[in-house]
C-alpha cells in the first residue's frame, strides 16, 4: 500500500468518528520527514482519543504498521507515526495555536472530497 492509500484509510477512519476539518498536506516536495501529513481536530479529549483509536484500529486492520503514537495521555494533540504518513489529531484550540497548515504552507493540500 502506498502512502496516498494509507492517507485515504486514515481520512476515512477519522471521518467515521466525526473529526473536524480533515486536511491532507502533500509533504513530498517540502520535507523528508513524511510524504503526507493528515491533520484533523475534535472538540474534546474524549473525541480526540476516539478518533486516534479508530485510526489506529483501521490502519492495523489494513496491515499498516504503526511506528509510534504519542500524546494519548493528555489528548490535546495525538501524533500517530505511520512511516510515510504522519497523523495529527488535535483539540480545536491546540490546532489553532500550532497552526501546522500555516507552518507548512509550502505543502499543497490534497483534495480528499472523493475519500469521504
Return d(Cα 24, Cα 73) in angstroms, integer: 25
Query: What angle separates helix 3-16 from helix 45-61, to the nearest 10 degrees?
Result: 140
Q: What angle (nearest 5°) sits at the alpha carbon of residue 34, between those of residues 32 and 40?
A: 140
Q: What are 15-70's pLDDT values in tens digits? A: 999 999 999 999 999 998 899 999 999 999 999 999 999 999 999 999 999 999 99
pTM, entire model: 0.94
- Structural domain range at position 102: 3-115
**Range list of H helices, 1-116:** 3-16, 45-61, 92-98, 100-103
Q: Domain containing 55 — which CATH number?
A: 3.30.460.10
Q: What angle (nearest 5°) sits at the alpha carbon of residue 40, between those of residues 34 and 45?
A: 120
CA atoms within 13 A on the CB side of 36: 22
Within 10 angstroms of residue 5's Cβ, the number of other Cβ atoms is 12
* Residue 99 phi, psi (nearest 5): 45, 60
**Structure confidence at residue 104 (pLDDT):** 94
10 Å CB burial of residue 93 (0-12, 13-18, 19+) is exposed
Looking at the structure of the chain, the number of domains it has is: 1
Amino acid at each position: 500500500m502506498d502512502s496516498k492509500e494509507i492517507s485515504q484509510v486514515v481520512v476515512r477512519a477519522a471521518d467515521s468518528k466525526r473529526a473536524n476539518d480533515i486536511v491532507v498536506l502533500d509533504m513530498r516536495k517540502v520535507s523528508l520527514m513524511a510524504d503526507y501529513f493528515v491533520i484533523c481536530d475534535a472538540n474534546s479529549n474524549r473525541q480526540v482519543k476516539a478518533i486516534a483509536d479508530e485510526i489506529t484500529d483501521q490502519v492495523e486492520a489494513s496491515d499498516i504498521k504503526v511506528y509510534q503514537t504519542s500524546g494519548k495521555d493528555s489528548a490535546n494533540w495525538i501524533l500517530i507515526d505511520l512511516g510515510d504518513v504522519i497523523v495529527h489529531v488535535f483539540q480545536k484550540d491546540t490546532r489553532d495555536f500550532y497552526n501546522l497548515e500555516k507552518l507548512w504552507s509550502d505543502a499543497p493540500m490534497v483534495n480528499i472530497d472523493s475519500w469521504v
